[in-house]
Structure 1
Amino acid sequence: MRDRHAPVFLARFCGNCDCGCPELYVDPSADADRRVVITDDFGQRVEMSLDQFRDLVEMAKSGTLDDLLDRRVTRA
């Protein structure tokens, strides 16, 4: 039986290996402002609210993040 207090796995962002790719979880037992968890392959994690995650997803869908990255990368 799954621990109902454990974060629930939603997605892996690489999927081509088993080397600790970034992963997305939702932690139903966490405070509302820390419910969405993104981990990386270095053991770090980012915690955010569902609203913050939705904003991030919307920026990715609309191309805003691409535009920001393109501007930063071309300046470097």
Structure 2
Amino acid sequence: MTHDISGLEPVATFCGECDCGCPQLFVDPGASADRRIVLTDDFGQRVQMSADQFSSLVADAKNGKLDGIA
């Protein structure tokens, strides 16, 4: 599955070892501040959030709050 990623700045690809349309993380410099961070999944969906929201998610992951969910 391909995503329309034109204009997005790639940050990370999660997996990347297949051709299944791996989840990806982007920055959308043209988006409003509350939608600048973009996560795409391998089903063609996307989630947009602010940099502050994404920073909170990363902090929670680093602090172990997401451990055990997978």
1:18 offset after TM fit, Å? 2.1
Look up the equivalent residue of 1:19 and give its one-letter code: C
The residue aligned with 2:20 is: 19
Identity over aligned residues, as a percent? 62
The residue aligned with 1:9 is: 10
1:24 offset after TM fit, Å? 0.2
The alignment's C-alpha RMSD in Å is: 1.5
TM-score between both structures, scaled by the size of structure 1:
0.79
Q: More relative contact order in 1 or in 2 (CA 8 Å, sep 6+)?
A: 2
Higher helix share: 1
Kindly name which structure, 1 or 2, has the bigger radius of gyration based on alpha carbons: 1
Query: Structure 2: which 5+ runs fail to align?
Result: 1-5
Runs in 1 of length 4+ with deviation above 3 angstroms?
none
The residue aligned with 2:60 is: 59
